[in-house]
Structure 1
């Protein structure tokens, strides 16, 4: 399986800088002061470089919600029980979650993937890619074997391959998994050296006492497993999650297919950091959507080298912030396609 992962990584090529420059030239010809549309212009240039089109049109968009359970929930790190994971998966599949609402607003599809839910789920819309039923308790042992982590990455990449073959060209990352902010905080600590007290957030809304306990659990997981900072796969396997590994695959798969991938919040950004360590070129295909209310999120984005488009104090996950930014990407595309140039509008430049 490692050879298959290497093949995915090696298939990721640099973005096409000539189209980045062509997009810049077109933006400078539009009836506005240079750079006056700020981040919309940054988006337009980046997606041009990614896709090899100055004016790409994203007719088929998808948020891929990876779902998996976490053995560390045995330690009482969440305000919600683990049973919520499969219940929310069914909510996604029935169209009732926040990400479904925002996806409909953006004209996008929600793809729900069972990569590690600790339950037997059946639904005609469910994408079944289960590697195992939840991770082990990382506070006592490694969350996954290295082989399981690699398999989950490959499953995520395969999902993107399937949808890219159907004409989808813009992707977003989403997640569902009670306990996954604990795993994401541990990944942040292991890969950057950030102290657990600065990495661990409130997750589902825990109080001060449970937050302190959550910090201790992350510290314990790091002490017991001793993840190797220079080996992102080792970190992912020992203190990560199946859905996080799946999202690493989604990001690598999008880059492989030359598709932009919009990164959601804290959990998705932990996956983005792992992906960037495994395949540095993949970072150029990522667009950060929003700065989460989770205190460690900014540190994750900084480590990847990303800057968020929005700051909305959101901390829901699911892909909600990422899907919200589909609207901004579509807006940037319309600016490129529909806005008049100085010449076409007969407007003087000076």
Structure 2
């Protein structure tokens, strides 16, 4: 019933029907998620999960693994792109150590979701155990439980982890039944030779896999701690009827895993942008998802969420504040 009320409200604003394009779809979706014709975005949060990947040791990234922990410290010091955009749009930022290969000093404003000091390389074996994969889901949901208790109803997720585009690409390839060549990209900036090497390594990893198609088995074998904690966080947010802002390639693969566990999450997901990673375009098409922005981003960190958030505010504001034909005493079309 709420859907029909929202459609009538949107169509009776002082504009031709559909003339606000995707903002109208967004206003409808937000109203449906929050189950109200007068939605409010409350206490927005963005969570960045960070972890290291054993596959990075195989030469699939242009940057060394220590960059993961260096960037975590950069987040905590307020110097990264996501810090800038969250400050600009008054979004609360939380950073979670899901499995960085480093012991951070006590007292830092860093969430503790650490599973281990990085995954194993999935070239010749599983990245983690199934028990660890399920613990990731649990820890990700726990983060959301704490944030939801603060009244938050709109949340986005980002990631940091050298090598995580490889993990995401293999999961996408197997879950979507697509060639790995369609799923990989340059990540942190690989040249042509490095990109070919990355493809060959991931093809070999897939060839070495002798397991089945069970999603938990695939997540454990090829996943990353930060990717799977993000999956658990998305599932937890959907349970609590929160708006979920989905970032770029890695985050969309986390969503793909969440969708494989519970398809109802689709109702809560707002896809913020289409990234420069080739696989992201194919993945969005596979999911029949319409991204709000196309800015050629490939940074991660949740930056696409922070940049798209003002569009969510605009959708809510026009729904709540724009005059109707009746209130403005303007003649509607016949």
Q: Which residues of 2 match residues 145-160 of structure 1 at below 5 A?
A: 145-160=129-144
Q: Retained in 2: the 8 A contact 1:21–1:45?
A: no
Instruction: After TM superposition, give the deviation of residue 301 of structure 1 in Å.
Output: 1.8
Equivalent residue, structure 2, for 1:44: 27
Equivalent residue, structure 1, for 2:322: 339
CA distance in 2 between counterparts of 1:21 and 1:236 reads 39
Instruction: After TM superposition, give the deviation of residue 227 of structure 1 in Å.
Output: 4.7
User: TM-score of the superposition, structure 2-length normalised?
Assistant: 0.97
Out of 130, 155, 174, the residue aligned to residue 171 of structure 1 is: 155
CA distance in 1 between counterparts of 2:52 and 2:210 reads 22
2:274 equivalent to 1:291: yes
Equivalent residue, structure 2, for 1:256: 239
2:39 equivalent to 1:56: yes
Secondary structure of 2:16 counterpart: coil
User: TM-score of the superposition, structure 1-length normalised?
Assistant: 0.93
2:205 equivalent to 1:217: no
Cα deviation per residue 1:140-173 (whole Å; 9 max; x = unaligned)? Answer: 2101111101100111111001100111110001
Instruction: After TM superposition, give the deviation of residue 305 of structure 1 in Å.
Output: 3.0
Out of 177, 191, 201, the residue aligned to residue 185 of structure 2 is: 201
CA distance in 2 between counterparts of 1:118 and 1:304 reads 33
Equivalent residue, structure 1, for 2:58: 75
Equivalent residue, structure 1, for 2:115: 131
Equivalent residue, structure 2, for 1:271: 254
Q: Which residues of 2 match residues 102-141 of structure 1 at below 5 A?
A: 102-122=85-105, 123-141=107-125
Divergent runs of 4+, >6 A: none
Instruction: After TM superposition, give the deviation of residue 24 of structure 1 in Å.
Output: 1.2
2:316 equivalent to 1:325: no
Equivalent residue, structure 2, for 1:144: 128
Q: Retained in 2: the 8 A contact 1:190–1:227?
A: no
Cα deviation per residue 1:265-320 (whole Å; 9 max; x = unaligned)? Answer: 00001101010010010111111010010000022223333211111100000000
**How large is the Cα RMSD of the aligned pairs?**
1.1
Query: Structure 2: 5+ residue runs without aligned partners?
Result: none
